[in-house]
Amino acid sequence: MIEISNCTKIYSSHDGSNQVEALDSINLSVKEKEFVALLGPSGCGKTTLLKIVGGLIPWDKGSVTIKGKQVTGPGSDRAVVFQNFALMPWADIKTNIAFGLELQGKSKAEREARAIQLIEAVGLKGFEDRYPRHLSGGMQQRVGLARALAVNPETLLMDEPFGALDAQTRRLMQEDLLRLHEQEPKTVIFVTHGMDEAVRMADRVVLMTARPGRVKEIIEVPFGRPRPKDFDKDPAFIELIDYLWDVLKTMQVLDGTTENETFSKES
């Protein structure tokens, strides 16, 4: 279980003359194998919170624990998937996917077996020996997802992983991730600007306020797993998206920005 208690993060300029409070007293519990989406305006601290849980940056007040242990840095129990694919351009797909296993000291046979298994799982069979430059954006993101899964982390931290993809590819990636999550459930914290994506993917949606980011509301998504067929046509699905739209639109108006600048109703 991930426990975030009164977490506050303040960014300071190099000389300390300018400070920006990114997060203010965040409280959030994420259960084991739960899929949680973080949704809110740009600049509300979603990515900051994700990096804190990943041990990539420190926080200033409060505590962040995983299974009762304080987060002090990155760990093999967590893997991060960013929007930019960050693949090694000089390495083929199989080598990219197995990179984390190599760092763990796994044998070549173990690395190759796991990489091949995941290549098939993410729909890239036949592309094992290709290089990233030969792949589309969606295929590169599949490689990034497979690389994160290769080390078998307990927690996946995903920062708008499909945000740079076109609408059709994004939908396919959403379905792929849902399928993989059903086959091999993990704890997932998923940052998104898409209300449709948040409801489609998550068990709970955490609504955050404009900066400094606070938890405004946590909403249970009324659909089990595996997701029912055509659940996105269910009136409850549409009603929930409309509700999120109304709340976020109100926050944007109060913040003086334009809704289209920061979030989308559809993904």
Q: What mean pLDDT value characterizes the chain?
A: 89
Question: Which pLDDT value is given to residue 106?
Answer: 87
- Predicted local confidence at residue 189, as pLDDT: 97
* Average pLDDT of the segment spanning 159-187: 90
**pLDDT score of 265:** 57
Domain 2-77+158-262 in CATH 3.20.20.140? The answer is: no
- Give the whole-angstrom CA distance, residue 73 versus residue 56: 6
Per-residue model confidence (pLDDT) at position 266: 58
Residues of the chain with CATH 3.40.50.300: 2-77+158-262
How many Å apart are CA 261 and CA 130, to the nearest integer?
Answer: 37
Residue 258 has pLDDT above 50, yes or no: no
pLDDT of 164 > 90? The answer is no
Q: What is the pLDDT of residues 107-162, one digit of tens each?
A: 889 999 999 999 998 989 999 899 999 999 889 989 999 999 998 999 999 999 98
Q: What are the b/e assignments for 240-261, b being 16+ CB within 10 Å?
A: bbeebbebbeebbeebeeebee
